[in-house]
Amino acid sequence: MADRRETNRNRKKRPNRRNSNPDRDWQDGERIAKYLARAGIASRREAEAMIERGEVRINGRKLTTPAFKVTGREDIRVNGKPVKAHEQTRVWRYHKPSGLITTTSDPEGRRTIFEELPKSLPRTITIGRLDLTTEGILLLTNDGGLARAMELPKTGFIRHYRARAHGKITQAELDTLKGGITLDDGTRYTSIEAELERETGSNNWINVRLSEGKNREVRKALEHLGLQVNRLIRTQYGPFELAELRPGAVEEISGERLRAALADQIPAHLLPSEEKPPTRERRKPRAGARVHGRKR
């Protein structure tokens, strides 16, 4: 059947009441990569890679471009599995142990966090990453939009670390990191705050605070000063602390706490909506029923 938009071009068109609302026009849909990220399938970049690999189908057809827009009413499938509509935004604290990687799969066959997480957990993605041997707090979410917003440097979330490093160092040398440094390979790090906590033999415990969170930034910054990091623990990401969470444990952060902690930095539409208590309908008394001891 010919496309009706390509025929009878000179005929006066009657308004289509069904589609007269601009909010329902397909052009106002959401890009598929963003939709998949919001649904917790993967980050936008990973979703685009899935599309390139031919893993995404819309209404039975293999998708070939990440520019395609959807409204959520389509039959959307990834590797044959239907994608559910975006659910309420949720975030978890996870104490990542050393020896796990934060990707969904690894060509070298190393163990990933997703193989260790509780099976009861829904599909999640990480907010930022921790390298193989780094321990500590890692935030998980079912919302790719929130993950992206919290990772951006402009959001200004401070990452706190405790580093054990081998070598000799003074506080004056650590203070040189405040003005930022440039590595031999040209990598530039902005201000890093490092405080010498204590010395234990040939090792030092150092508290580090930074806002960029580039790949292996703490390790490379301290190596720049002649230290060798042999243990690294992230103790805080923005307003969320590791606290007493044991290695391998997962704990959900309530929606109320998320809104209170992130409202000043994260757009409201990316945060969980406030749940209103159910309203109870007031029933009219039956004819002849007693009200306050009196008969109606």
Catalytic (active-site) positions? 131
Fill in the DSSP letter of residue 260: H
Q: DSSP code of 112?
A: B
Residues 81, 117, 58: CA angle, nearest 5 degrees: 15
Residue that has been written with the tokens 């306050």 in this structure: 292
Report the DSSP pairing between strands 188-189 and 181-182.
antiparallel
CA distances from 217 to 153, 183, 227 (A): 14, 11, 13
Instruction: Give CA–CA dist 37/241, Å, rounded.
Output: 25
Nearest-5° angle of CA 248, CA 266, CA 93?
10
Query: Do the beta carbons of residue 97 and residue 248 sit within 8 Å?
Result: yes
* Closest by Cα among 126, 156, 159 to 140: 126
Question: Do the beta carbons of residue 129 and residue 104 sit within 8 Å?
Answer: no
State the Cα angle at 46 between 117 and 269, rounded to 5°. Answer: 80
The rounded distance, in Å, linking the Cα atoms of 156 and 183 is: 23
First to last CA, the chain: 68
Q: H-helix or E-strand containing 145?
A: helix 144-151
